[in-house]
Structure 1
Amino acid sequence: MPSDPAEPRILIPQNLSPNAIASRLADGRIVAIGGRTMGTTWSAKIVAKGELPGVEAALQALLDRVVDEMSNWEAASNVSRFNRLAAGQWQTLPPDFFTVLRRGLEIAAASHGAFDPTAGALVDMWGFGPAPARLEPPADAEIATALAATGYRRIELDVHARRARQPGGVSLDLSGIAKGYAVDLLADFLRERGHRHFLVEVGGELVGDGILPDGQPWWVDLEAPPGLRVAPARIALHGLAVATTGDYRRFFDHAGRRYAHSIDPRTGQPVENGVAAVSVVYRRCMDADAWATALAVLGMEAGMTLATEQGVAARFITNEGGEAFSPALAAMLD
């Protein structure tokens, strides 16, 4: 008999630590702060015994730093300046930018190009970047031109000098990984300052650590597309991150067809594989962010195969409301 769609499935990470329970602040309270960044909102819930002066401003400054370095919407950002470089030129990158680009290229290789941080020309061409939104799909010749400017293998990194080489015409787009990295930055900041119990979020991507004052973990429902009858999947987010990507977030309709923002960097076309959303649970939100994008591009069959091979904990939801858990996520079912 099928389960009641209203009844949540409970996911318990296998790394729940007795130390978290022992260190809980039973006399603490949740301090909630937040703001806006990257065209969306951010929030932090921190268990503390009193007010936290200066923390909100410090977290906002970290997010502003990510925007200044990695936003394609900012002409003066480091990534925009890299994209304007002439062929063969090198650019020294700030530590955050270099970390994100390096990890993005690694996941690009591991996903066989399903995630590709060099797909900026394709994203812009389809109207999902800083360029004006489109009302109709581009011509085949436009797609071919953008594809010729795409390819993670074309980027050369100098790890010792922390710099990258522009091969000519490549447009980096880190939007599929930078937001997750920003969440990691917030979590790392709090840990470094002795906060052991918190939940931080940017645009629906989250990192949780520790527990609530009453001893309960941070319970988070994996995001599901609106309008689909899918039983909630609720995870105790303890020392883990979760990110979701879906074809319902940004799109345009033309001639009876929907073109979603998820672009396959290998073909230059919006994804049409029946997958409505993919959620990934991972140690770092940066990785969860990029893997969710890669698996959504690959689709249910190829994505599940790769998630199984890589040990990625993922939930796939189809346009018809079907779902599947990768082995790593299924192992968390209570």
Structure 2
Amino acid sequence: MPHPGWSLFDFEGIGTRWEISTPDTLGAELRGQLLDTVSAYDKAWSRFRPDSLVATVSRGPGRITLPDHAPALQKIYAALYRLSGGRMTPLIGSSLEHLGYDANYALASPGSPEAPPPWEGTLEWTGTELMVTKAVVLDIGAAGKGQLVDLLGDVLRAAGHADFLVDGSGDMLHSGTHPVVVALEHPYNPKQAIGTVELANSALCASASNRRAWGDGLHHVLDGATGQPIETTVATWTMAASALEADALATALFMVDPGPLEDEFEFSWLKVSSAGGATYSAAFEGRLFS
């Protein structure tokens, strides 16, 4: 929770609720910059709007030039695609749409799960240049909200704000001398917490299969090898220097054992299995309730 007495700027963006907490009230110009940052991100990456940049490649083969923040997104997706053996992929959008999680929010599956196309031979992504050899549905939701959290933090710092908490519906970035204590939402009851963690000058992100769930056992965390919802894990939390990494790694933990991830990334984590057990890294300094 933000500190008592801090100012709160809350708004809707990319289909979710945002709260930005600061010691001082944000001016109208800065609020406009923050809203413009969210709007530009949505216009570039949303698979739910036909006028987005990535919608171009959903209509056929072609090449697009992405925003300047795209190289960081490409780098982490390429690493996690490799570490997961293709199970975590930005091409998962077609599988989500097939299960009903489409632009119309049909939320009704027309058939059996389908695996997305492989990155190899389908997608060439170098820096800000992206080319596809056939129509694809890009979905960077596993890391995109985290990156947007970071971008909003950059806007605040550029305006001279050193103390803030950016909260994109549970994906958080904290900066400053006043740590905040964050409750870890129970994966089966959003009104309860399974523990708390102190957040200080770092990011905390979560991924949970109950967040966007529909039908009989359908949810948004899919295995890129099969297109099926992952059933062995129900919730993860990660802490890292950036929300981009924390967000991406929270999803990767559904598909990859922590060890290989810890070999390449500096982060701490907590993972809850569908059987109810919790495992966590030595560096995860949260407090779990009994």
- Indicate the residue corresponding to 2:54 in structure 1: 79
Larger Rg: 1 or 2?
Answer: 1
1:155 aligns with 2:123: yes
**Contact residue 198 and residue 211 of structure 1 kept, 8 A:** no
Distance in 1 (alpha carbons) for counterparts of 2:130 and 2:267? 28
Distance in 1 (alpha carbons) for counterparts of 2:101 and 2:125? 27
- Superposed displacement of residue 281, structure 1: 0.8
**1:137–1:291: structure 2 CA closer, same or farther, 3 Å change rule?**
farther
- Superposed displacement of residue 64, structure 1: 0.6
**1:231–1:173: structure 2 CA closer, same or farther, 3 Å change rule?**
closer
Task: Give, as a single letter, the amino acid of the residue that structure 2 aligns with 1:218.
Answer: V
| Equivalent runs, 1:200-219 vs 2, <5 Å | 200-212=166-178, 217-219=179-181
- Indicate the residue corresponding to 2:270 in structure 1: 315
**1:137–1:150: structure 2 CA closer, same or farther, 3 Å change rule?**
farther
- Indicate the residue corresponding to 1:285 in structure 2: 243
- Indicate the residue corresponding to 2:258 in structure 1: 304
1:295 aligns with 2:253: yes
- Indicate the residue corresponding to 2:185 in structure 1: 223
- Superposed displacement of residue 211, structure 1: 2.8
Task: Give, as a single letter, the amino acid of the residue that structure 2 aligns with 1:329.
Answer: F
- Superposed displacement of residue 152, structure 1: 6.0
Distance in 2 (alpha carbons) for counterparts of 1:169 and 1:53? 41
- Superposed displacement of residue 137, structure 1: 6.2
Secondary structure in 2 matching 1:242: strand
Deviations 1:184-210 (A, max 9, x none): 011111112221111011122100011
Distance in 2 (alpha carbons) for counterparts of 1:158 and 1:230? 41
Report which stretch shifted further, 217-226 or 201-210: 217-226
| Equivalent runs, 1:170-181 vs 2, <5 Å | 170-181=136-147
Distance in 1 (alpha carbons) for counterparts of 2:85 and 2:46? 25
Q: Quick one: which of 243, 256, 266 aligns to 2:205?
A: 243
Task: Give, as a single letter, the amino acid of the residue that structure 2 aligns with 1:46.
Answer: T
**1:223–1:307: structure 2 CA closer, same or farther, 3 Å change rule?**
farther
Distance in 1 (alpha carbons) for counterparts of 2:120 and 2:23? 41
**Contact residue 42 and residue 202 of structure 1 kept, 8 A:** yes
Secondary structure in 1 matching 2:148: helix
| Equivalent runs, 1:41-56 vs 2, <5 Å | 41-48=17-24, 52-56=27-31
**Contact residue 187 and residue 200 of structure 1 kept, 8 A:** yes
- Indicate the residue corresponding to 1:32 in structure 2: 8
**1:158–1:305: structure 2 CA closer, same or farther, 3 Å change rule?**
closer
How much identity, in percent, do the aligned residues show?
A: 24
Q: Quick one: which of 143, 150, 153 aligns to 1:184?
A: 150
**1:116–1:33: structure 2 CA closer, same or farther, 3 Å change rule?**
same
**Contact residue 69 and residue 97 of structure 1 kept, 8 A:** no
Task: Give, as a single letter, the amino acid of the residue that structure 1 aligns with 2:172.
Answer: L
Report which stretch shifted further, 239-248 or 302-311: 302-311
| Number of equivalent positions | 283
- Superposed displacement of residue 102, structure 1: 4.0
1:129 aligns with 2:102: yes
Q: How does the TM-score come out when normalised to structure 2? A: 0.87
- Indicate the residue corresponding to 1:265 in structure 2: 224
Task: Give, as a single letter, the amino acid of the residue that structure 1 aligns with 2:49.
Answer: E
Deviations 1:47-102 (A, max 9, x none): 23x6633222221111111101110111111111132232xx32222213454234
Task: Give, as a single letter, the amino acid of the residue that structure 1 aligns with 2:88.
Answer: F
Task: Give, as a single letter, the amino acid of the residue that structure 2 aligns with 1:315.
Answer: L
- Indicate the residue corresponding to 1:21 in structure 2: none
Distance in 1 (alpha carbons) for counterparts of 2:28 and 2:214? 43
1:101 aligns with 2:74: yes
Question: Looking at both structures, which has the greater relative contact order when contacts are Cα pairs under 8 Å and sequence separation is at least 6?
Answer: 1
Distance in 1 (alpha carbons) for counterparts of 2:195 and 2:121? 39
